[in-house]
Structure 1
Amino acid sequence: MTQLKNLLGFLWYVAHKFQRDRCMQSASSLTTTTLFALVPLVTISINLFSLFPEFVKVSQAVRNFLLANMLPDSASRIIGVYMNQFSSHASQLTYAGLALLVITVFSLVITVDHTFNAIWGTAPRRSWPSRLLIYAVLILVGPLLLGLGLWGTSLVVSTSMGWAGEGAQATHSALKVLSLLILASGLALAYYKVPGRPVKGRHALLGGALAALVFELMKNGFTLFITHFSTYTLVYGAFAAFPIFLLWIHLS
């Protein structure tokens, strides 16, 4: 009985803090910034190392992973189309256009940084030059490390199986597990490093694991909803994909 009372008290505290920290307003702000920055962020990061022939498979692994594991089916189709369009026109960008894209990408990261510190009720610990350097490293190096890990895992699993069917299934299962581990690790690292006050490692790991699990459940539930409850198409018609994508960004 005491444990149940403590659990209910904890849930009430979380709900109260969620409202007090204005997390819904923060989600709205992040949604707006993400709409402008998501496609340039992913495409620029991938194209930077896809310029080298030896990294073509790595680039494709990152792209497929993000579309398959970070977004529901309908949203991944939208992002995939815009990524292809953006990539095909990226070589025609002027220096001013490229600078604008970089500013857009950094605005997303800075908004995330401010949101984290607002929730934690603290100010950033690092200076602006130090923070910008960290942001640049994350944007440039993060996708490369992610792609190398995904490509290596896929290669090892597929070559260790006796026939193609089993190998393909095992590769898919391994990548699904790996996607959860990568997401949980990334969130835990963000919870540990971004706030301007010390965060215990075990608390960051637990928060990252729970957030990744909730994200995966939410993604599957969202996909199930838009698959079986398609009445929104009667209201929005041909534009139904956009509010779906907007809602997903807000929820995630």
Structure 2
Amino acid sequence: MPRILHESARWSNRRGRSRRGRCRMAPPEGKAGGGMEEERGGILAAFRELGGFFGHSMLRFYNDNCFQTAASLTYTSLLAIVPIMTIGFAVFSAFPAFSALQMRIQTAVIKNLVPEIGDAILEYLGRFMANAGQMPIFGVIGLAVSAVLLIWTIEGSFATVWRVREPRSYVTRILSFWAVVSLTPLFAGASLSLSSTLWTALELAHLEGVVHPLAGIGMLLPFGLQLLGCSLLYLVIPNREVFWLDALCGGAIGSILLEGSKAIFGWYMREYPAYQTIYGALSVVPIFLFWLYIAWSTVLFGAVVTASLPEWRAGKVTRGGMEGLLPAQRLALAMAVLRELMEASRLGVGMRRRTLVGRVPVGTLLIDGILEQLRDAHWVAHTTRDAWVSTRDLGEATLLDLMKALGIGMRGSVHGLGGLAPPWQERTARLLDAAEERQGDLLNVPLKTLLTDEPPPEGQPAGQGAGQGNAGPVPLRAVKG
């Protein structure tokens, strides 16, 4: 009997130890499930956010007619590719250190950009560039003009994506275009020189049976150069202040899509050689055009992603832009912008667009739209230092003046509509005239009076001005030009 009790006690202690162990190892009931649910919910929310962003980007890509723009860039590229390569390699050949790399650059560019037909394109381009070298001066000028027109078309398409209405000056545009055409070959030469040095080291390491630590870099180098080129395109070409991280993200998306398109396009050309069957030796031309169209479409989508990122971060994406706002919302947005410009004018400075976007957190699309409307109405101006200033004295301009400038309120007359002249029309006209007079008396208040903050009540921090949102004000010293 005692032995049985002893065994029972030992078994009970063992069960208690195992139960206590389970209690120590397992989290409290309900907490583990809640944590897993929260983690799963966070992942799903991130995927929904990502899907919503790409959905917004694709909708914007479609609404901006980027497929038509890609077609235009395709034909312009066909006309300008020979002049650009001729000018670029002329600059490239002026440096003897890079002269041995010229053929390698041509081969690398064509092989990486045009799958399956790179050899034929390279042969044709070699003939075209050789013929271009024998052209007279007027022919060379014509080639240069066609090269500039391509970059001009790229800038125009990017202006549509970034909602830019004010282009750069002609001198600035020509100088920047020439810098792109002339400096790109030098950059490519330096990159290929570094690449050849890397590949030499890798080959020596392979012969010695050593696994080189930089072996993976050689495989990723073409993609890295492609990523850098797209990012610089999004950063430099638009006449807009672009955050470098946004340009890098858009360049990564564009480069990934371009690599995927190359793989799919190459597979399609190998498995379904319809163009070669129909066109024979001339199949290079339609295939090259088709590939250019795909490439420009991916580049433009990367530009749309870059331009959409600030809108999405602001959390105020408005699909219709200014057209999606109600009149009262447009008025409130204009007053918020004018208030910030008024505060900056007290310090004798203008306000840059990026600072204005930070102080009025509604997204760049709405800020650009209201600035354009206010500039067209001569209420604000854009200075040569890339800053915005108010051109109206807000101590004299009234709320009614701003409403009229924005086209808000009753405008026109009920008379003069075809042959309509019923008795009720005259009564309605008198009523509307009386309402407009009374509205004028009520709204004839200087904007400065409305926009000047009163002392905050106790417990509320100062500086929480109209239009500054919940993120706090951006210091005005950052807007000095």
Shift of residue 248 of structure 1? Answer: 0.3
CA distance in 1, matches of 2:111, 2:186: 18
Going from structure 1 to structure 2, the CA distance change for 1:211 and 1:49 (only over 3 Å counts) comes to same
**Contact persistence 1:58–1:148 (CA under 8 A):** no
CA distance in 1, matches of 2:154, 2:279: 31
**Contact persistence 2:198–2:218 (CA under 8 A):** no
CA distance in 1, matches of 2:192, 2:88: 16
* Residue 87 of structure 1: aligned partner: 129
Residue among 208, 229, 236 paired with 1:193: 236
* Residue 223 of structure 1: aligned partner: 266
**Contact persistence 1:50–1:56 (CA under 8 A):** yes
Residue among 28, 34, 38 paired with 2:71: 28
Residue among 182, 186, 198 paired with 2:225: 182
**Contact persistence 1:154–1:171 (CA under 8 A):** no
Give the TM-score taking structure 1 as reference length.
Answer: 0.89
* Residue 213 of structure 1: aligned partner: 256
CA distance in 1, matches of 2:243, 2:91: 35
Shift of residue 23 of structure 1? Answer: 0.3
Shift of residue 251 of structure 1? Answer: 0.6
Matched, 1:48 2:96: no
Name the Cα RMSD after superposition: 2.5
CA distance in 2, matches of 1:116, 1:166: 50
* Residue 390 of structure 2: aligned partner: none
Structure 1 letter corresponding to 2:110: L
Going from structure 1 to structure 2, the CA distance change for 1:4 and 1:152 (only over 3 Å counts) comes to closer
Shift of residue 101 of structure 1? Answer: 0.4
* Residue 117 of structure 1: aligned partner: 159
* Residue 73 of structure 1: aligned partner: 116
Cα deviation, 1:169-221, whole Å, max 9, x if unaligned, reads 99996554222111111211221222222222211111111111111111121
* Residue 101 of structure 1: aligned partner: 143
Structure 2 letter corresponding to 1:115: S
Matched, 1:243 2:282: no
Cα deviation, 1:59-110, whole Å, max 9, x if unaligned, reads 2232122112122121x22321222112322331100000000001111111
Going from structure 1 to structure 2, the CA distance change for 1:21 and 1:57 (only over 3 Å counts) comes to same
CA distance in 1, matches of 2:209, 2:186: 28
CA distance in 2, matches of 1:97, 1:220: 38
Shift of residue 4 of structure 1? Answer: 3.8
Structure 1 letter corresponding to 2:103: Q
**Contact persistence 2:158–2:237 (CA under 8 A):** yes
CA distance in 1, matches of 2:195, 2:114: 21
User: Greater Rg, structure 1 or structure 2?
Assistant: 2
CA distance in 2, matches of 1:137, 1:166: 44
Shift of residue 140 of structure 1? Answer: 0.9
* Residue 147 of structure 1: aligned partner: 189
Going from structure 1 to structure 2, the CA distance change for 1:226 and 1:164 (only over 3 Å counts) comes to farther
Going from structure 1 to structure 2, the CA distance change for 1:95 and 1:173 (only over 3 Å counts) comes to farther
**Contact persistence 1:43–1:83 (CA under 8 A):** no
- The farther-off stretch of 214-223 and 45-54 is 45-54
Going from structure 1 to structure 2, the CA distance change for 1:156 and 1:205 (only over 3 Å counts) comes to same
Q: Secondary structure at the match of 1:72?
A: coil
CA distance in 2, matches of 1:165, 1:224: 36
**Contact persistence 1:109–1:135 (CA under 8 A):** yes
Residue among 175, 194, 199 paired with 1:157: 199
Shift of residue 223 of structure 1? Answer: 0.8
Q: Secondary structure at the match of 1:240?
A: helix
Going from structure 1 to structure 2, the CA distance change for 1:38 and 1:204 (only over 3 Å counts) comes to same
Shift of residue 127 of structure 1? Answer: 1.4
Identity %: 28
- The farther-off stretch of 199-208 and 57-66 is 57-66
Going from structure 1 to structure 2, the CA distance change for 1:148 and 1:210 (only over 3 Å counts) comes to same
* Residue 169 of structure 2: aligned partner: 127
CA distance in 2, matches of 1:25, 1:166: 53
Unaligned runs of 5+ in 2: 1-43, 296-481
Q: Secondary structure at the match of 1:152?
A: helix
Q: Secondary structure at the match of 2:134?
A: coil
**Contact persistence 2:199–2:218 (CA under 8 A):** no
Cα deviation, 1:13-66, whole Å, max 9, x if unaligned, reads 122111110001101110110010112212321133225543212322321221
Equivalent pairs, count: 250
Q: Secondary structure at the match of 1:121?
A: coil
Report which structure shows greater RCO (CA 8 Å, sep ≥6). Answer: 1
Going from structure 1 to structure 2, the CA distance change for 1:96 and 1:171 (only over 3 Å counts) comes to farther
CA distance in 2, matches of 1:143, 1:52: 11
Shift of residue 230 of structure 1? Answer: 1.3
